[in-house]
A and B are shown apart, each in its own frame.
Chain A
Amino acid sequence: MLLSDIKEGQTARILRVGGSGALRRRIFEMGIVKGTKVYVDKYAPLKDPLEIIVMGYHLSLRVEEASQVTVEPIQTDDGQQTADNRHLPSTA
């Protein structure tokens, strides 16, 4: 599944970051690394870009960029709880 397929309020775990060159490295450096949990907070009113919470901070990226990231959704009882736990260090 791709990060761009995750719906608002859902949490996912990063499996792989695709793409190439500067963009890929930049995504990594912003903390989107394998094993990290991301919470999709919302999509912009025009459905692009989207806002995610990763490592406890808010990051926005374009749908196009999010579609380079392969994730596995994490089932949670409710999205809010996941968002609250977002400060927990996340290691693979």
Chain B
Amino acid sequence: MSATLQNLARDLAFLRQAVDRTARMPPAIYFLWAVIVGVGGVVVEQRTWAVWYWLGASVVGLLASAYLGWRHGVRMGAVSRERGVRAVLHWGGIVAAVFAATALVWRGQLAVEAVSGVALLLVSLGYYLMGVHEDRWSYVPAVLALGAAVSVTMIPGSWAVAGVACAAGLALMGVLEWTRERRRHV
């Protein structure tokens, strides 16, 4: 009986690994957000149109990520509407929260200097929750975004550096994911 159970446990562990491998973030999405965040970091220094950049980039980035996720699924050979909807709801919720924080600035209830830090905290929370529920590698961008939030709050004018550091982290994640995919298919 115990030998049978050991085999069963081994089989189930193998299956869990296989299932986990179908639920990974496409590398293209990491690269896309590396560009958005990197450019955004520099743009924030030019205050006047930074808000417009971020509002536009977050919506376009969300829609582009949904498309890239779907295309990646078809190319890799696994499509899941449920997973796609869940990802859009997850990140859509974060973008909606960032919009709400921006609205507080317009209403004078949040200082304009604070909104960037709040947005980064929300993004960090988004990645952290993804790490909890989906892919533990998401803790890496969660820590990066948290670090950026702290740095832009504590050190004035550190946006460009924080943006480039986050972009580099996201690009690194993209490269790691891409390498992992290639190794699987070689």
A and B: interacting chains = no
- Name A's B-contacting residues (CB within 8 A): none
